[in-house]
Amino acid sequence: EVQLVQSGAELKKPGESLKISCKGFGYRFTSYWIAWVRQMPGRGLEWMGIIYPHDSDAKYSPSFQGQVTISADKSIDTVYLQWTSLQASDTAMYYCARREVDWEPPELWGQGTLVTVSS
């Protein structure tokens, strides 16, 4: 089955680091871009950035540039979203989503990873 499977929920303290993952199954992983999308509690969706696992070419939305790092390990069909120092405002659901080309929207999404940052 073609799917994106994300890592499980995380409970972290402010200042801690975190890396969550998104693994692709059932398709040629390096042929699609993978995006990360944030949904804060009670809020809409926000595009964070996108990466092409084939060559790890990553592009960030200005609001998230320098705040997170998106990386990929194509040997295990996995993309990551990483923080070096979490803040309470990073509490959100994070989705990964697959996109084939620039002129089409993401058509396959992961199940989401809930990140809670609280002291």
1 near other proteins, rule: CB under 8 A: no
- Among residues 32, 33, 83, 95, the one that binds other proteins under rule CB under 8 A: 95
What's the closest the beta carbon of residue 82 comes to other proteins, in angstroms?
20
Contact, 110 vs 77, CB < 8 A?
no
Residues making up the chain, counted from first to last: 119
Dihedral of the CA atoms 52, 55, 56, 62 (nearest 10)?
-60
Identify which of residues 60 and 80 has a Cβ nearer to other proteins in the complex.
60
Name the residue with tokens 């499980």: 8
**Contacting residues toward other proteins, per CB under 8 A:** 37, 44-47, 59, 61-63, 95, 97, 99, 102-107, 109-112
